[in-house]
Structure 1
Amino acid sequence: MKELLYISKQNNEIFQKIVGKRQLSQIKKEYDQAYTRLILLDYDGTLSPFVKNPEDAVPSKELLNLLKKMTADKKNKVVINSGRNRQVLDKWFKGIDLDFAAEHGAFFKENHKWHKNVQEKITWDDEILRIIEHTIDKTPRSRMEIKDASLVWHYRNVDVWLAELRQKQLINALMGPASRLNLQIVPGNKIVEIKSPDFNKGSEVKRLLGKNNYDFILAIGDDTTDEDMFHALPSGGVSIKVGHFSPAAKYRIPVQSSVIPFFENLIK
């Protein structure tokens, strides 16, 4: 009986977190009453659906128009806090008055200028490269992405059973060299990323909050890396998880396709 009550309570909590009319009304009330707003947006899986090839996940016209409306309101500071690199963010959102955090906080852009939280471009250890390359050789349709501040193994197009096996094997193989080199292994949505532990999406939020005070703060994302953002918000902040339930977020939007309509309703 106790187990049933516990499960029932959990189910109720999960259901209550879903953004429906009542929750949207409350968030919108806080938004409308605020004079200074910080809006933190993940990209892949949040503003844009996942696709087979990450290079094809270009922003839709609907999204670009939404971002233009959001940034036209001078009460809003809108930041795309993404794992994407600087070059892609600049290319895709050219002409829109956005700020960015690239590669999970390794770089940030304010007032049209990029700044870095890493001292220099990382030279990757041969052992780590060999481990990832060996995994790719054994895993058809997987690939490695070398960024300025991180290495990423992508396996979105790999058969599910093989992907799960190889992901566990790769993480186990990387633990030794990653520990020796003081690097962090971050499992994400169909990726495994190797990076410095000195920055993440949450450290970028803390940097922003340290510079200004905001009446309204909202962060939205779909991945485990976005939970760093949620944890960095003050108690009155609005955190929204897209997709599966997360105890780190106050609210949940179950499907990615509902994200743009949510913001359209929020700002109208």
Structure 2
Amino acid sequence: MQDTTVRDVPPALGNPELTRRLAGRRPAVFLDYDGVLSPIVERPEDAVMSESMRTVVRDLATRVPVCVVTGRDRVVAQQLMGLDNLAVAGSHGFDIWTPAQGSLSDTHVARYTDLVAEVTEKLRDGIREIPGTHVEPKRASVAVHYRLAEPADRDRVTATVQAVLDAYSGKVKLTPGKMVYEIGPNVDWNKGKAVLYLIEALGLDGDDVVPLYFGDDITDEYAFRALHDRGIGILVGDADDPEMAGRTTAADFALASVDDVEDFLATLT
């Protein structure tokens, strides 16, 4: 498949081609959290979903399957959303939970608890003296946020992260994001594989179902590619945003903002 420049991706709202691809089929909706259900904010803990978005998502989930696939810690994402009727795959799909089945990954996640704890402490020690940084521990990974760090200090953050990667070479891997580095176990898993797993686990693999995935970050490209020829990928983000500059995507359609996501989901509802 050929990726497309972000600016050339057709809009999703009111697009007759997207309507045609949905016709006569039941949508299954997969959503990233930050940048999709809540705007990107300077402090990760402030990314609380709006009440109107919460209402739309809650209502949609009573009609079609809705799953959240996020880099966030699963429990934190559930707290920020304030919803308990959605399947959630946290830590880039590593930590999976559904309302009907409970955790589908506890045994797997537990294998890496000690490793993640060690890496978390190394990162805390390394960036302790760098203003504007924040270490976010998760069940299955750890993130270093540096959006509030001075540009001159960002190389120090990168060097600290690289030193930890070197110290645990072969045991961990790096997942970059928007002003964040995430380190987790070095296993062959990502958001795309999590979506495919959920499609099967939730019985959504019939020809009458069309999966839609909404994402804004580089890590969401795994899901866009995984759904190529079997679903619909929708990139969320303003093509004029500097963080989108020069980027290509495997998404089929685009929405410019979180508000547009809310409008689109309301239309589905």
> Which of 201, 211, 233 in structure 1 is aligned with 2:227?
233
Distance 1:202 1:20 in 2: 21
Distance 2:85 2:32 in 1: 16
1:65-80 map, 5 Å? 65-73=55-63, 76-80=64-68
Letter in structure 2 aligned against 1:90: Q
1:1-268 map, 5 Å? 14-19=6-11, 24-35=15-26, 37-73=27-63, 76-110=64-98, 111=100, 113-116=102-105, 117-120=108-111, 122-124=113-115, 128-129=119-120, 131-163=122-154, 165-180=155-170, 182-198=171-187, 199-211=189-201, 212=203, 213-214=205-206, 215-243=209-237, 244=244, 245-265=247-267, 267=268
Q: Deviations over 1:73-119 (max 9, x none)?
A: 1xx21100012223223334445521111111121112161221424
Shift in alpha-carbon separation, 1:206–1:223, aligned structure 2, 3 A: same
Partner secondary structure for residue 196 of structure 2? helix
Shift in alpha-carbon separation, 1:128–1:112, aligned structure 2, 3 A: closer
CA contact under 8 A between 1:167 and 1:192: conserved in structure 2?
Answer: no
Q: Deviations over 1:229-258 (max 9, x none)?
A: 112214131112222343322222233432
Higher RCO (Cα < 8 Å, 6 or more apart): 2
* TM value normalised by structure 1: 0.82
Q: Hey, which of these two has a bigger chunk of helix by percent?
A: 1
Distance 1:127 1:105 in 2: 21
* TM value normalised by structure 2: 0.81
Distance 2:5 2:78 in 1: 39
Structure 1: give runs of 5+ residues left out of the alignment: 1-9
Shift in alpha-carbon separation, 1:60–1:50, aligned structure 2, 3 A: same
Distance 1:125 1:80 in 2: 23
Distance 2:132 2:8 in 1: 39
Q: Deviations over 1:169-198 (max 9, x none)?
A: 234323322324x21111111111110232
Distance 2:6 2:47 in 1: 30
CA contact under 8 A between 1:201 and 1:225: conserved in structure 2?
Answer: yes
Shift in alpha-carbon separation, 1:89–1:69, aligned structure 2, 3 A: same
Shift in alpha-carbon separation, 1:161–1:148, aligned structure 2, 3 A: same
Letter in structure 1 aligned against 2:219: T
Q: Percent identity, please.
A: 26
Range 219-228 or range 229-238, more displaced: 229-238
Shift in alpha-carbon separation, 1:188–1:167, aligned structure 2, 3 A: farther
Cα RMSD (Å): 2.6
CA contact under 8 A between 2:29 and 2:67: conserved in structure 1?
Answer: yes
Shift of 1:133: 3.0
Structure 2: give runs of 5+ residues left out of the alignment: 238-243
Shift in alpha-carbon separation, 1:92–1:129, aligned structure 2, 3 A: closer
